[in-house]
Amino acid sequence: MRLVIVTGMSGAGKTVALKILEDMGYYCVDNLPIPLMREFASLISGNPDKSSENVALGIDIRSGLELPQLDQVLSDWRRDGFNCKVLFLDASDETLIKRYKETRRSHPLAGTGRIGQGIAREREQLSFLKEEADYIFDTSKLLTRDLRKEIEKLFTEDPVYDNLFITVLSFGFKYGIPTDADLVFDVRFLPNPFYEESLRPLTGEDPGVRDYVMKGNTAEIFLTKLFDMVDFLVPNYVQEGKTRLLIAVGCTGGRHRSVTVARALYEHLRQIRPLGLKLENRDMDKKRQQTE
């Protein structure tokens, strides 16, 4: 039996994560009183009808004064070799505030105060759980389908996961540099398919455009150096405790060269990081949308 504790910030997607695990065949229980967790685990593991099932428990700030007891429960389980993992869902304060405003719900710790004050109190009270977490997902930029994809990979294949979620993003400088980018690479020095009439309406996802961008050896040399740099940086970011990394690749319009290079980087990373990886093409279709 595998037991997953699903926890994290209110509004970060815990309920969605539980539904995803339920769809995967997990027996899910939300907001179980912490003093009952040991007894619940014993009953499940000792029940012939349930002992082979995977179980997910949703625990959050609603546990109130009982929450600190969870630290001891986890410590005891790990000491005894119990197969328990902690999945922590997080998001930026700005994202959480926006979500609360959209749903018109009040934060459980805000009381008569502001939402931000409740979020700050919750972060402090959940800090020990985040430190104990085996997996951390920052859902600030994740769509539900992206979260589902990552959870399905994580809890069906169960490979090594290091809590770093990487987004490779192509963009056009004419539309502005992504404000949340950690690394920005300018590929405007590569051959530009825009000046080829037959290639202009296509994108970097089309083979003809990719071949044009990669002609000669400039792009190949650049990618070799880029791959080497990223391979060096990623383990060091993991060691430093970084949980999100956005690598932005830009060209003039974000349609041809940046898309080609971003795809190549994504495919390189996918070979060594099957989890925690996403490709986005921010501006690839803007020209097309403007003319429709």
The Cβ of residue 32 has, within 10 Å, a number of other Cβ atoms equal to 13
Would you call 71 exposed, middle or buried from its count of C-beta atoms within 10 A (0-12, 13-18, 19+)? middle
Domain ranges of the chain: 3-157, 165-291
From first to last of its 292 residues, the chain has per-residue pLDDT tens of 789 999 999 999 999 999 999 988 889 999 899 999 988 888 877 766 655 578 999 998 888 888 999 999 998 888 888 888 999 999 999 999 999 888 877 888 887 788 888 899 999 999 999 988 989 999 998 888 888 888 888 887 545 566 688 999 999 999 999 998 999 999 999 999 999 999 999 999 999 999 999 998 999 999 999 999 999 999 888 877 777 899 999 999 999 999 999 999 999 999 887 678 899 999 998 865 443 3
Distance CA 125, CA 7 (A): 12
Q: Which of 78, 79, 80, 87 is nearest to 55 (CA)?
A: 87
CA dist., res. 102 & res. 105, Å (int): 8
Please report, for the chain, how many H helices and E strands are present, in that order: 10, 9
Q: How many CB atoms lie within 10 A of CB 6?
A: 26
Residues in the chain: 292
What b/e string do you get for 194-225 counting C-beta neighbours within 10 Å, with b at 16 or more? Answer: beeeebeebbbbbeebbebbbeeeebeebbee
DSSP assignment string, 121-163 = HHHHHHHHHHHH-SEEEE-TT--HHHHHHHHHHHHHH-----S
Region of 166 (left: φ > 0; alpha: ψ -120 to 50; beta: rest) is beta
Rounded alpha-carbon distances, angstroms, from residue 221 to 10, 21, 225: 46, 43, 6
pLDDT number for residue 177: 95
* Cα(270)–Cα(91) distance, integer angstroms: 24
Top-level class of domain 3-157: alpha beta
Name residue 85's beta-bridge partners. 4
